[in-house]
Amino acid sequence: MYKNKKIVLVGDSAAGKTSIVTKYINDIFNPYLNSTIGAAFSSIRMVAKDGNTDTLEIWDTAGQERYRSLVPMYYREAAGAIIVYDVSVPDGLKKAHEWVKDVRQCAPQTIKIYIIGNKYDLLTPAKILETPHIKYSSGIPHYYASAKTGKNIKNIFLDLISDIPRQPTTVPVVPITTRYSLCC
């Protein structure tokens, strides 16, 4: 038995975190989503690249300043962090790196971090030409994506889940004396 793999989505408000999760889980893009309050939880089973099935626990957090103090709570025992920024916002990638600092400070040291530049569909052909195609940003895997068109959404989750090693579940050890006392 293996532990579920806990993934947290963080990033500035309106970067598209909820839209990415909705696209991944339900394969729909809903342009009329309500903004997230606190965090939303979803669970899904998926087949990793090695053919084994993992259960993913996805925590979609709220980026607004007023909920920011809650975010470290969601980092606890997280195995992966998806940091989302909006490619159409100036300095989006720089802001994503502020979230990287946050994750490194509060999450387990072993956490796998991915940076996602969402809303790629909003870039004009001219803008696409001047946007550098980076695969890594300061050593962190970086993807351009679009929750609207679905670009890279499945790849992100598949790559991340396959990057996270499986951890056996710890079975609680029942002391022998306790076991005998139950029989009498």
* Chain positions contacting Mg ion, by CB under 5 A: 17-18, 36
Q: How far is the CB of 168 from ligand G3D (least distance, A)?
A: 33
- Pairing mode, strands 112-118 and 140-144: parallel
Q: Helix, strand or coil for residue 117?
A: strand
Q: Min. distance of Cβ 22 from Mg ion in angstroms? A: 9
**d(C-alpha 39, C-alpha 163), whole Å:** 24
Pairing type for strands 53-61 and 80-86 reads unpaired
Interface region with ligand G3D, contact rule CB under 6 A, candidates 16-24, 41-49, 99-107, 154-162: 16-24
* Tokens matching residue 35: 């903004």
- Contact set for ligand G3D, span 100-119 (CB under 6 A): 118-119
Q: Smallest distance, Å, CB 172 to ligand G3D?
A: 37
SS3 120: helix
Query: Which residues are at the interface with ligand G3D (CB under 6 A)?
Result: 13-19, 31, 33, 35-36, 63, 118-119, 121-122, 146-148
